[in-house]
Amino acid sequence: MKELKYNRISKYKIKKIMRYFCVDITATQTSKLIGISRKTVNRYYNSFRSKIYNHQIEEFKRFVGDVELDESYFGAKRMRGYHGKLKRGRGTLKQPVFGIFLREGKVYTEIVPDCKKKTLQKIIRKKISVESIIYTDSWRGYDGLVDIGFGKHFRVNHGRNEFALEGDVHVNGIESFWSFTKRRLRKFNGIKVNFEIHLKESEWRWKRDSEVLYNELVNFYFK
């Protein structure tokens, strides 16, 4: 995305737009508060999101530590004409997304074509060091991680109402991120365009104070 020129509006007003962006106010609301057209605010919001997206991609090369893995589905609820039991996105038009959460750290997401073992293992081998301790649920897509070098893999079985076992065995962190992201996207009436960019924005925002976000965004944008 092309960099927006400062001389269109003052740097002071750009920073005001950033302030409202960082507290997650919509472009329409920001337009009314500042007295700038919604189209202009949207251009800046899109520029901010482009900066954030590039930062998030660069930030996460490889994870080392205690990590939680999980997958989630975004989008339409049910495929027309499908009457079977819904399971793991079957019978839906939902988009699968794979997530990695470094405990006491950050989260990484990747849009995937499916959540099969081969698909997930390819990302896991690329993004996670074998020294890491991995926590997952019992989805079969996580079978065989020990066989490819991940010797510390602990699981909970949600089908048996297991949500947290002794020794911090759970995936509550990454599930919290999914809940946060879906709540965010609802206020935008769901995201059908640039979904990946909005996912990266949710990574960036999750559990972070708006002032921290603002200072970081100023650094991204004006450096």
Q: What is the pLDDT of residues 138-194, one digit of tens each?
A: 999 999 999 999 999 999 987 776 666 777 899 999 999 999 999 998 877 666 678
pLDDT of 7 reads: 47
Torsion angle of the four alpha carbons 154, 143, 149, 169, in this order, in degrees rounded to the nearest 10: -10
Domain 66-180 has CATH 3.40.50.300: no
Which amino acid is it at 171? V
What does the pLDDT look like over 1-19, one tens digit per residue?
Answer: 444 554 478 999 999 999 9
Please give the mean pLDDT across all residues of the chain.
87
Listed range (69-78, 99-108, 118-127) with the worst mean pLDDT: 69-78
Return contacts of 92-96, CB within 8 angstroms, 24+ apart: 95/195, 96/71, 96/72
- What percentage of the chain carries pLDDT values higher than 70? 85
Using only the alpha carbons of the chain, give its radius of gyration: 20
Query: Do the beta carbons of residue 26 and residue 187 sit within 8 Å?
Result: yes
pLDDT of 206 reads: 96
Evaluate if residue 78 carries a pLDDT over 60: no
What does the pLDDT look like over 81-113, one tens digit per residue?
Answer: 444 445 555 456 789 999 999 998 899 999 999
pLDDT of 176 reads: 96
Evaluate if residue 222 carries a pLDDT over 70: yes
